[in-house]
A and B are shown apart, each in its own frame.
Chain A
Amino acid sequence: MIVCVAVVGHQNNPLYIQSFTKADDSLKLHHIVHCSLDVVDERVNNPKKSGLIINETFLGLLNPTENYKVYGYLTNTKVKFILVTTDLEVRDADARVFFGRFHTAYVNAVSNPFHIPGKKITSRKFAERVSTIVKSFGLSSSS
């Protein structure tokens, strides 16, 4: 289950963060997102060490903690997407599908003429789309 997704600007400024748990653990989740940003920077600056295909937007698993798996994605415009899940077994393919859909939703949200670059994404449409994408996580490419 996805418990949190985030969009972070190129100066590590949060543009959108949403948790999907009933428990009041958003502070903890925000902290996890925050910590993962350094890992993203490190990955991107040392692609060889982390075994990445050079400059691929999908960054893979960032930092497995005891209870969570955190995945990252970096767009050409230096915007980071972070995905936090409680699933123990996550297939890369599922994470890729998720980020692909999420990226499309993000691009449509920032295509709104009233969106100001670098400011928080307040679009209701975006929030609805994200919630749909989160619900369908792992369903499409499984089985």
Chain B
Amino acid sequence: MAPAAPKSGDVIFASVDRVNAELFTLTYGAIVRQLITDLEEVEEVNKQLDQMGYNIGVRLVDEFLAKSSVSRCVDFRETADVIAKVGFKMFLGVTASVTNWDADGTTCSLILEDNPLVDFVELPDTCQGLHYCNILSGVVRGALEMVSMKTEVTWLRDMLRGDDVFELQVKLLKQVPEEYPYKDDE
């Protein structure tokens, strides 16, 4: 049987259970503020947000594959495209674009012009080292790891720090081939 054709991000987003984005935005903001109070060091908060995102990415990848009918992407280039066009749209209702590919196709940037996480947010001067959206980089890293791609994800541009867009650089470190229980020659 031929695999079902992948659905577009818009179609999937229209079909999933959705909630008022304000609840999501304000909840995330309250988490960040509480973490700053409890962990004190901004660097620790960045780490914690990344870890939370990683856990979410690991969990959400199944929902993503099931609802999108995307068969596992073999190619990193194709995978990046699917994350940007389908993944972001399906969960956050916004689409990212993929740019800045390097020559060997292992590093690219996801660009977000609109990001529901930061509605209403203004960073205070005491939090300048904070990567407010670090949960997103964790989600991308966690989800990719579940499809056997080990990556390093870094923020290059951040609208909360005055940049015109959010730019998330994704660098493929290692692609682990899927393991099968038996070797071919046996």
Contacts and interface: CB of A to CB of B under 8 A. Distances in A.
B33 interface: yes
A109 B122 CA distance: 9
Main secondary structure of the interface of A (DSSP, over half): loop
B115 to A, nearest CB: 14
Nearest to B36: A114
Contacts of A123: 122
A101 to B, nearest CB: 17
B29 interface: yes
Contacts of B146: none
Taking residues whose C-beta sits less than 8 angstroms from the other chain, chain A's interface range is under 10
Contacts of B122: 112, 114, 123-125
Interface string A100-143: 00000000110111100000000111000000000000000000
Interface in A48-80: none
Contact of A111 (B32, B120, B123, B124): B120
Interface of A: 108-109, 111-114, 123-125
Closest 10 CB pairs of A and B: A113-B29, A111-B120, A113-B33, A114-B124, A112-B120, A112-B122, A123-B122, A108-B120, A112-B121, A113-B30
